[in-house]
Structure 1
Amino acid sequence: MTRQAMSSLALTGKSRQLITKLHRWSGLALLAFLFVAAFTGAFVSFRWEIDTFLNPQLFKVQPAGKPLPQLDLIGRIEAAFPDALVSTLTYPKAPDDALRVSLKSRMDAHVVHKHVPGMKSAVAFNQVFVNPYSGEILGQRNTSDFTVDRINFIPFMLRLHYSLFLEKWGVWLMGGSALVWLLSSFLGLALAWPRLWRNIKAWRPLLGIRSRQGEYKFNYDLHRSASLLTLPVMIVVAFSSAYFNLPDLVKPVIGVFSPISSTSTVASVGQVGLDDSILPPEQAAAVALQVLPEAQVSYVNRDFTKGLYAVRLKLPTDVAPIGNNTVYVRMRDGVVSSTRLAANRSGADTFIAWQMPLHSGVAFGLAGQIIICLCSLALLAMCVTGFNVWLRKHRSEKDLAMRRRARQTPVSEQQAAAPIEA
């Protein structure tokens, strides 16, 4: 960077040298993690579209009359997978959509677990696709398997994106990387911040790319301009990544500004046995819709430890694709036990509810998904150009150090070190 360009920046001197080193080495430490996150993120931003395209036999059915009773469907599924228990029914959004069913271990039916995304499933298959009209099982998969094929491609990308297939260690590792990435992004902004930042003209040179002045300048400019242009999105994605992987660390910070509700506050109404007579799921959904008649049912979850159905409802105004409202219905008699409605949530609850829609881009529909995908590709470019800048800088500094040592070495020592010619 020229002296004239340096003089236009707000940060100079020893402070700039220190922040440059912090940004450079934090970026280098994160390089592999960010590359994986960016590569997988480009696919994850269109996860359902890609999954449906690759596996139409799992997601699409031919409508034929009325759907079968859900207890009948559950019986067929659990008969086909005797070691598993149906935990969640994800409702079709359209008549030609299949019913997506989540399974858990039957042995864990009455065991309370803290949900840690990224952990390996305890059953052979944890996701089943069913034709709701005929009861035919269209296919099954284990979303935690290390398998790359058409059926498991998106689950593979999701798990790699979230935990690197390293279980809890991977979850913490990617969460910690997100926090360092967030800090490094602000360090990069500090390095690029112009002295006359209120003047729009001061920002224009920072977004330009010198394509004919050598490889180093091209990589440096591309890295800086891509970082600045995508910075608002990257900050949101980095923060939400840290929240998803390290909620126990991030939630207390959010809670400083506003109280946070917790799913653990949903009181049990009494454990229900697996063979006990319970209300059919569709009736629990109908009870929940009486609370919010204008909503659509996204899924119904069965919690035998608390004796409750958790019915997720989506209103037209909800930002999350699955909705931001949950009604808890007693499995034995169909009485509403409690509700968690978006209209009654605190500011912190609303802020948290926005994290996944923002992270995936679905908060803004197709345009948001495209932006997240493009930013993932931009992050890939930043990883490559950032490494090239570091490598060229490292080689330059190494060559400079060698020349300095050569100048400081006495001539007699240089002659003594020279090889003897035959």
Structure 2
Amino acid sequence: MSAPAVEVERTEETPRTGTISVVPLLRRLHFYAGVLVGPFLVIAAATGMLYAFAPQIDGVLYGDQLRVGSVGSSTRPVADQVAAAQAALPDGIVTGVQLFDDPEATTRVVFALEGLPAEHSRTVYVNPYTAEVQGQLTTWFGATPATTWLDNLHSNLNLGVPGTLYSELAASWLWVLALVGLVLWVQRRRTAKRRARALLLPEKGAKGVRRSRSWHASLGMWALIGTLFLSATGLTWSTYAGENFSAALTALNAKAPVLDTKLPGSTGSAPSGEHSGHGSGEPTAVPVDPATFDRVLGTARTAGLDGPVDVTPGAPGTAWSVAQTDAVWPMRQDKVAVDPATAQVTARADFADRPFLAKLSSWGIQAHMGVLFGFVNQLVLFLLAGAILALIVFGYRMWWQRRPTRADRRAPFGAAPKRGAWTQLPLWFVIPAPLVLIAIGWAIPLLGLSLLAFLVLDGLAGFVRSRRREEQQA
């Protein structure tokens, strides 16, 4: 690319003196946010692509445990399967049984075992037709070691709580980048003929930075809804924004009803918990009679809980819980509490009775995990993550293409949009902006803190450059 062409691009990006517009500020925000948050988004997108296909990865790594060799004509009683698992793991205490409607799936008997990390269990995989044990794995809320590793890689880089800051920062800025990019592209193409085509397809005949920008922007238009969805659903279970989201659901009385496992006549209450996005409770580890599983399961089936279910023993003096675990659309997520002594249903919590926001949250989480619409969901997530990676590549390429190339002004990258954009802001934008920023900063703390840090650092850098310029002129 010739030097004059580069200079033309820089001139076009430079705000005109006296122009009242929010575009120069948005352009500067989009540039710096993209440069600084881009690496975090690369990691999130790449690890998300892997996690989306965790079921297939599990099938390759743990097929011997997860699948039966041949499908039989009838299944053995759950009590026989639990007894076989207990014989294979005599030191453990049964805390749940996971049953599936897939005829090729094994039954998973979950154990509490001394010495395991927090929130981990030992799962024994039993052939439901022969009651033979096919293996055992250490699991996390029902997830295999590989899925657990991929989940943690995506959410916290396997660094624990400190690592969650990276994914929350990426999710916090993703929607900002998407919406600001939308405004910038619409503003740039506002006078183009066949405007819809100009917005959605790359510019014909464009070269250099113009070509990169048209591909970056048009691809961003196609991925807009998906990126907003990933940002919103990712924030719902993040560390800080997720807490605010949960508090908002509580204030709106929009959380899913909790299954009450208190038995009639008892004084205590033991609500059944649920891990966000994984669907397994945290039961109390006490010895149980395997025969009780069949009795409780039969009652739950009679109560209408078909499909895959988790049967979870309760603490002494409380009911057992049976929860549907079908997360594919339409979801089956009903729960019942069953008295293990009388085999009577004592309470239930149906998915249909959840507030709309609670349903929406469940649908969003399962879609984010690639489960809600099966393989199609996985494929869409894969393509969306690939689009985000391509957007970042085009963005950095534009930065490199806009670098000065004249012999006396060479630089490794292009210059950032000029400072002073705030002086061009219209009054209608300036007046509500502080309140809006405070609200957003409270709801999404990492976004607010990182934006504040950028403003402080940018202000200090501007002050230092101004002082140097004054010293050179003196």
TM range (shorter): 0.7 to 0.9
Give the 3 Å change call, closer, same or farther, for CA 208–131 of structure 1 in structure 2.
same
Report what 1:363 is aligned to.
372
Q: Verify: 1:274 aligned to 2:286, yes or no.
A: yes
Partner of 1:341: 350
Note if contact 1:176-1:242 (Cα within 8 Å) is conserved in structure 2. Answer: no
Give 3-state SS (helix, strand or coil) of 2:338's partner.
strand
What residue is the counterpart of 1:111 in the other structure? Answer: none
Deviation at 1:34?
A: 1.9
Conservation of the 8 A alpha-carbon contact between 2:296 and 2:338: yes
Q: CA deviation at 1:341?
A: 0.6
The count of corresponding residues between Structure 1 and Structure 2 is 379
Q: Is the 8 A contact 2:127 2:133 kept in 1?
A: yes
Deviation at 1:200, TM superposition (A): 9.2
Equivalent residue number for residue 104 of structure 2: 96
Counterpart residue number, 2:194: 201
**Structure 1 partner of 2:333:** 324
Aligned counterpart, 1:129: 125
Q: Is the 8 A contact 2:288 2:313 kept in 1?
A: no
Is 1:171 matched up with 2:164?
yes
Change (3 A) 1:38 1:196: closer
Does the CA-based 8 Å contact 1:40-1:157 persist in structure 2? yes
Q: Structure 2 residue aligned with 1:261, among 217, 233, 256?
A: 256
Once the two structures are TM-superposed, the CA of residue 374 in structure 1 deviates from its matched residue by 0.9
Residue 44 of structure 1 pairs with residue 51 of structure 2: yes
1:86 corresponds to? 94
**3-state secondary structure, aligned to 2:313:** strand
Q: Does 1:313 align with 2:324?
A: yes
Match of 2:362 in 1: 353
Does the CA-based 8 Å contact 2:174-2:231 persist in structure 1? Answer: yes
Indicate which of 12, 17, 24 corresponds to 1:17: 24
**Alpha carbons of structure 1 residues 88 and 277: separation in structure 2 relative to 1, 3 Å:** closer
Q: Does 1:287 align with 2:281?
A: no
Name the structure 2 match of 1:112: none
Structure 1 residue 166: Cα displacement: 1.9
Distance in structure 1 (CA, Å) of the matches to 2:237 and 2:326: 24
Aligned equivalents of 2:63, 2:365: Cα separation in 1: 25
Match of 2:219 in 1: 226
Name the structure, 1 or 2, with higher relative contact order (CA <8 Å, separation 6+).
Answer: 2
* Aligned-partner Cα distance in 2 for 1:244–1:191: 30
Q: Normalised by the size of structure 1, how large is the TM-score?
A: 0.74
- Distance between the aligned counterparts of 1:365 and 1:277, measured in 2? 36
**Taking structure 1 as reference, are residues 359 and 276 closer, same or farther at Cα in structure 2, changes over 3 Å only?**
closer
Matched-pair contact (CA < 8 Å) for 1:197–1:203: no
Instruction: Supply the distance in 1 between the matched residues of 2:288 and 2:376 (Cα, whole angstroms).
Output: 47
2:94–2:288 CA contact under 8 A, matched in 1: no
C-alpha change, 1:390 and 1:343, in structure 2 (3 Å) is same
Match of 1:56 in 2: 63
State the distance in 2 between where 1:240 and 1:209 align: 29
Does the CA-based 8 Å contact 1:226-1:378 persist in structure 2? yes
Closer/same/farther in 2, CA of residues 339 and 106 from structure 1, 3 Å limit: farther
Shift of 1:54: 4.5
SS of 1:142's equivalent in the other structure is strand
* Aligned equivalent of 1:182: 175
2:387 matched residue in structure 1: 378
Distance 2:316 2:235 in 1: 30
| CA-to-aligned-CA distance 1:193-220 (integer Å, 9 cap, x gap) | 3488799932322333358654533432
Distance 2:42 2:386 in 1: 10
Amino acid at match of 1:129: Y
Contact 2:327–2:333 under 8 Å retained in 1? no
- What amino acid sits opposite 2:48 in the alignment? G
CA drift of 1:178 comes to 1.3
- Which residue in 2 is equivalent to 1:117? none
Q: Could you say what secondary structure the match of 2:171 adopts?
A: helix
Residues 314 and 142 of structure 1: CA distance in aligned 2, closer, same or farther (over 3 Å): closer
**Correspondence for 1:251:** 246
Identity of aligned residues (%): 20
How many angstroms apart in 1 are the aligned matches of 2:199 and 2:26?
Answer: 18
Q: Distance in 1 between matches of 2:188 and 2:212?
A: 23
Change over 3 Å in CA distance of 1:383–1:127 after alignment to 2: farther
Whole-angstrom CA distance in 1 between matches of 2:328 and 2:149: 32
Query: Post-superposition shift, 1:240?
Result: 0.9
Distance 1:305 1:43 in 2: 41
Q: SS where residue 225 of structure 1 aligns?
A: helix
Query: In the aligned structure 1, how far is the partner of 2:65 from the partner of 2:396?
Result: 41
Is 2:156–2:164's contact at 8 Å kept on the other side of the alignment? Answer: yes
In structure 2, the CA distance between the partners of 1:133 and 1:222, relative to structure 1 (3 Å rule), is same
**Amino acid of the residue matched to residue 275 of structure 1?**
P
Task: State the distance in 1 between where 2:112 and 2:45 align.
Answer: 30
Q: 1:363 aligns to what SS in structure 2? A: coil
Distance 1:366-1:276 versus aligned 2 partners, 3 A rule: closer
Q: Distance in 1 between matches of 2:295 and 2:115?
A: 26
Deviation at 1:239, TM superposition (A): 0.9
CA contact (8 A) 1:259 1:346 kept: yes
Q: CA deviation at 1:232?
A: 0.7
Inter-CA distance 192–283: structure 2 relative to 1 (3 Å threshold): farther
Structure 1 residue ranges without an equivalent (≥5): 7-11, 109-119, 145-150, 414-422
Considering only aligned residues, what root-mean-square deviation do their CA atoms show, in Å? 4.0
